[in-house]
Chain A
Amino acid sequence: MRISLVTVVFFGCIQFYFSQGSISGNIETIYQYLVTDTLIGADQPAEKSLVNSYANINYRNQGFKAGVRMEAYMPHILGYPDRFDGAGLGYRYFGYENELVDVTFGNFYDQFGSGLIFRSYEDRALGLDNMMNGFRVKLKPFKGVVLRVNYGRQRFSFSEGSNIYSPALVRALDAEFNLNEWFPKMEEKNVRLSVAGSFVSKYQKDNNPKFILPENTGSYGGRFDFGYKKFFLNAEYVIKEQDPSQDNGYIYNYGKGILINAGYSQKGFGVLLSAKSIDNMSFRSDRDAALQDLQIGFIPPLTKTHTYNLVATLYPYASQPNGEVAFQGDIFYKFKRGSYLGGKYGTDLALNYSTAYAPIQNTSSIPAGDSSRVMYNSTLFDKSSLIYWRDINVTVEKKFTKNFKMKWNYFNLVFNNDIIKLTSANGKVQSHIAVIEGEYKINKKHSIRAELQGLWTVDDYINNFDPDRGNWATAVVEYTVSPDWYFSLVFQSNYGNPVEADRINYPIAIIGKIWGATRLQLAYGRQNEGLFCVGGVCRFVPASNGLTVSFTHSF
């Protein structure tokens, strides 16, 4: 075994020396030195410092491809599950591809359609990685046809330096037909149409003494993507067979879901409408898994991904896989140059509205004493008046001179904390958020940018609005020297907390240096968790107090 490994590596080396190939990859290291901070409930870890480190290497040569990722958690940074520890190989694959076939053995990622019943992906900053371990075949047998077969188990964890995979085996098949490649006339008439179908099945042994559980659970769906000139409409409909799990309380209902997007756009104007209805669609490769673990499908939240500190970090929304009815609308508009509202450079306007409600689950049609454990009947888009989430926001962006521009934002958020449970508030929390941003270009290389943000919660017990943690403010000042330096100061304050002792300030100082595809960033201070954008890059970060050093390099 060892000899053969050495031989492979040796001939691999020879191969590397004598034939050209292409190599790409990256390195990421995040180091934290944390201090105890009783105000935000942070303790200094026994090791004092934490580090996550990753190195990806991908090699390609004439259709042959192979790659590895080394991971190290020594120990893991804040926000990662405790089962992530040690150093070792977290991802490896090899494969071959030509115009007909693309095969991959080992670890791989893939997504069918919108991902409702199959999406394996990586979001490292969130500690999420449900990669498959098995094999994948992608076949293009005819023009306009793509078939995919994915077999494997999903990564659950990385313990003592090696991957731990899901108890369930996942088998997935997808067939996609691009009709434009068959009927060239469609192209001339500006019509685009593709249709696809997928089937995903999981097998997990019945491990439950109380119920007779289905060991094989199938899930299937169909989708289409239609376009005519500047109009588009796409939709996916999925069904899941009986899948009793911890998520749904071991019910034997079928699951179903639909996601529809429609849009129209032209120069200077765009409009988008989305609708989603989900019922009992949690689909995992372990029926006892919880949180973000081992999800086979991905149910996208129909909300805008916000980037400003307060609106992005305090009250983010996550999809409710057991059931929700959600809608979203977007309008983008540009007031033309030279018009009254456009001014010299034009003015950009963006409106976004999103909302999510609890579905109606009708139990009256289920006979008393029924032992099938089918607990209710439901119809897609049949929503109740129980609101989960609402977000109305508007952004106006205007350039005044060659060197100065501003952005104004207003957000009105409502979320139901009884369901989403983000904080200790009871009932709903409503907040008004305003953000003003200005950017001034001092000269060709030097720029300064500032943000002022305020968040005000509504205190209205009659209408069941809980003030939660009260009012917040954030100020950001960022100085950049193109192309290689940036300096930022961020000051966040929960100045309006009803509990005086909890009026916490979060000051952070950041300095960063860039060498092309290499960046080094030092941040010191107290940090709230969430999507954090600074120095030109956005990433998710957990709460901490202390020094965080991050290093990234691509090659």
Chain B
Amino acid sequence: MKKLITTICLTAILGLAFGQEEKEIFDKNVPAVDLKDVNGKTWNTGEISNDGKPIVISFWATWCSPCKKELNTIHEDYIDWVDETGVKLIAVSIDDERTKSRVVPYVDSKGWEYDVLLDPNGEFKRAMGVNNVPHTFVIDGAGKIVYSHNNYAPGDEIKLYELLLELSSN
């Protein structure tokens, strides 16, 4: 009997976890983790906001070519994206101590205007359920995760842009 209750409950929890999009029992919020940005300032990821405009969170690393390709490609049009959708992009580097110090010189040399956070021990990566990089999330104006994509192929930025346009017009 007890086993049965346990099983039912666990099944219910798992069912909710997987079927959440339809039922919206769980919020898909950004979990709160303390991360430092490239200026040594601490951010609480749970409090990231953008005045009701969408946010893109993109996990990357200096050793990951597709990640850099994605962020460099977006950067070419980033000013227009910001003008049209009000988006803010937060690039979370998962470089560990071996390559972490390369992040700032790399970012500056590319002239990225993103907020760049450092996650050297994978704490935020774990909390967000990220398996591999690149992994890109879109957060809507209400702070809910509405899109997630684990890959980058040229052209993916178009889909991202269309989604941001849709979110900002709502």
Interface flag for A411 (CB, 8 Å): no
| Interface residues in A261-275 (C-beta closer than 8 Å to B) | 261, 263-272, 274
Interface flag for A376 (CB, 8 Å): no
- Please pick, from B109, B121, B152, B156, the residue contacting A334 in the complex, using a CB distance under 8 A: B109
Interface flag for A97 (CB, 8 Å): yes
- Please pick, from A57, A304, A518, the residue contacting B99 in the complex, using a CB distance under 8 A: A304
Return B38 CB to nearest CB of chain A, in Å. Answer: 9
Interface flag for B97 (CB, 8 Å): yes
Interface flag for A377 (CB, 8 Å): no
Q: Which residues of B contact A518 (CB under 8 A)?
A: 150
Return B69 CB to nearest CB of chain A, in Å. Answer: 8
Q: Which residues of A contact B148 (CB under 8 A)?
A: 516-517, 554
- Asked if B40 and A178 make an inter-chain contact with CB atoms under 8 angstroms apart, the answer reads yes
| Interface residues in A55-112 (C-beta closer than 8 Å to B) | 56-58, 60, 97, 109-111
Q: B19-44: contact bitstring with A at CB < 8 Å (1 yes, 0 no)?
A: 01000011111011000000111100
- Asked if A554 and B150 make an inter-chain contact with CB atoms under 8 angstroms apart, the answer reads yes
Q: Which residues of B contact A109 (CB under 8 A)?
A: 121-123, 126
- Please pick, from A6, A192, A514, the residue contacting B40 in the complex, using a CB distance under 8 A: A192
- Asked if A533 and B98 make an inter-chain contact with CB atoms under 8 angstroms apart, the answer reads no
- Asked if A22 and B101 make an inter-chain contact with CB atoms under 8 angstroms apart, the answer reads no
- Asked if A514 and B154 make an inter-chain contact with CB atoms under 8 angstroms apart, the answer reads no
Q: Which residues of A contact B150 (CB under 8 A)?
A: 514, 516-519, 537, 552, 554
- Asked if A533 and B66 make an inter-chain contact with CB atoms under 8 angstroms apart, the answer reads yes
Q: B73-115: contact bitstring with A at CB < 8 Å (1 yes, 0 no)?
A: 0000000000000000000000011110110111111110000
Return A353 CB to nearest CB of chain B, in Å. Answer: 13
- Asked if B121 and A26 make an inter-chain contact with CB atoms under 8 angstroms apart, the answer reads no
- Please pick, from B62, B97, B104, the residue contacting A263 in the complex, using a CB distance under 8 A: B104
Task: Classify chain A: how many residues form its interface, as a range.
Answer: 35 or more
- Please pick, from B2, B41, B135, the residue contacting A517 in the complex, using a CB distance under 8 A: B135
- Asked if B155 and A26 make an inter-chain contact with CB atoms under 8 angstroms apart, the answer reads no
Closest to B131 in A: A552
Q: A110-123: contact bitstring with B at CB < 8 Å (1 yes, 0 no)?
A: 11001100010110
Q: Which residues of A contact B155 (CB under 8 A)?
A: 441, 444-447, 480, 482-483
Interface flag for A292 (CB, 8 Å): no
Q: Which residues of B contact A265 (CB under 8 A)?
A: 104-105, 107-109
Closest to B101 in A: A261
Cα(A441)–Cα(B18), bound, Å: 36
Q: A222-250: contact bitstring with B at CB < 8 Å (1 yes, 0 no)?
A: 00010100101010000000000000000
Cα(A302)–Cα(B98), bound, Å: 6
Return A549 CB to nearest CB of chain B, in Å. Answer: 15
Cα(A274)–Cα(B17), bound, Å: 45
- Asked if A10 and B65 make an inter-chain contact with CB atoms under 8 angstroms apart, the answer reads no
Q: Which residues of B contact A301 (CB under 8 A)?
A: 98
Cα(A535)–Cα(B121), bound, Å: 25
Cα(A204)–Cα(B16), bound, Å: 45
Return B102 CB to nearest CB of chain A, in Å. Answer: 6
- Asked if B121 and A307 make an inter-chain contact with CB atoms under 8 angstroms apart, the answer reads no
- Please pick, from B106, B107, B127, the residue contacting A24 in the complex, using a CB distance under 8 A: B127
Q: Which residues of B contact A58 (CB under 8 A)?
A: 31, 126-127, 129
Q: Which residues of A contact B32 (CB under 8 A)?
A: 60, 97
Q: A510-531: contact bitstring with B at CB < 8 Å (1 yes, 0 no)?
A: 0000101111000000000001
- Asked if A537 and B66 make an inter-chain contact with CB atoms under 8 angstroms apart, the answer reads yes
| Interface residues in A469-500 (C-beta closer than 8 Å to B) | 480-483, 486
Q: A16-31: contact bitstring with B at CB < 8 Å (1 yes, 0 no)?
A: 1100111111101000
- Please pick, from B27, B31, B108, the residue contacting A230 in the complex, using a CB distance under 8 A: B108
- Asked if B108 and A305 make an inter-chain contact with CB atoms under 8 angstroms apart, the answer reads no
Cα(A26)–Cα(B122), bound, Å: 14
With contact pairs A13-B12, A16-B16, A555-B20 given, residues A305 and B25 touching in the complex (Cβ less than 8 Å) = no
Closest to A446 in B: B155
Interface flag for A12 (CB, 8 Å): yes
Interface flag for B130 (CB, 8 Å): yes
- Asked if B108 and A267 make an inter-chain contact with CB atoms under 8 angstroms apart, the answer reads yes
Closest to A69 in B: B126
Cα(A17)–Cα(B17), bound, Å: 12
- Asked if A537 and B134 make an inter-chain contact with CB atoms under 8 angstroms apart, the answer reads yes
Q: Which residues of A contact B20 (CB under 8 A)?
A: 23, 555
Closest to B134 in A: A536
Q: Which residues of B contact A332 (CB under 8 A)?
A: 105-106, 108-110
- Asked if A6 and B63 make an inter-chain contact with CB atoms under 8 angstroms apart, the answer reads no
Q: Which residues of A contact B12 (CB under 8 A)?
A: 13, 16-17
Cα(A6)–Cα(B27), bound, Å: 26
Cα(A132)–Cα(B144), bound, Å: 32
Residue from A119, A536, A552 having most chain B Cβ neighbours under 10 A: A536
Q: Which residues of B contact A115 (CB under 8 A)?
A: 96-97, 120-121
Return A93 CB to nearest CB of chain B, in Å. Answer: 11
Closest to A121 in B: B121
Interface flag for B142 (CB, 8 Å): no
Return A364 CB to nearest CB of chain B, in Å. Answer: 35
- Asked if B63 and A538 make an inter-chain contact with CB atoms under 8 angstroms apart, the answer reads yes
- Asked if B2 and A307 make an inter-chain contact with CB atoms under 8 angstroms apart, the answer reads no
Closest to B113 in A: A267
With contact pairs A10-B9, A16-B16, A536-B66 given, residues A28 and B26 touching in the complex (Cβ less than 8 Å) = no
Cα(A23)–Cα(B31), bound, Å: 9
- Asked if A538 and B133 make an inter-chain contact with CB atoms under 8 angstroms apart, the answer reads yes
With contact pairs A444-B155, A516-B149 given, residues A300 and B96 touching in the complex (Cβ less than 8 Å) = yes
Q: Can you list 10 pairs linking A and B with CB atoms under 8 Å apart?
A: A2-B2, A20-B27, A121-B96, A268-B109, A268-B111, A300-B98, A305-B63, A483-B151, A483-B155, A533-B64
**Which A residues are within 8 Å of any B CB, using their own CB?**
2-3, 5-6, 9-10, 12-13, 16-17, 20-26, 28, 56-58, 60, 97, 109-111, 114-115, 119, 121-122, 178, 180, 192, 194, 225, 227, 230, 232, 234, 261, 263-272, 274, 298, 300-307, 330, 332-334, 348, 439, 441, 444-447, 480-483, 486, 514, 516-519, 531, 533, 535-539, 552, 554-555
Please give 16 more A-B residue pairs, beta carbons under 8 A apart, in addition to A304-B99, A332-B105, A538-B133: A9-B5, A12-B9, A13-B13, A58-B129, A192-B40, A230-B108, A268-B109, A271-B105, A305-B99, A307-B63, A330-B105, A333-B109, A348-B109, A483-B151, A519-B151, A533-B66
Q: Which 8 A-B pairs have the closest CB atoms?
A: A270-B105, A482-B155, A265-B108, A332-B109, A480-B153, A305-B63, A517-B148, A536-B66
**Which B residues are within 8 Å of any A CB, using their own CB?**
2, 5-6, 9-10, 12-13, 16-18, 20, 25-29, 31-32, 39-42, 61-66, 96-99, 101-102, 104-111, 120-123, 126-135, 147-156, 158-159
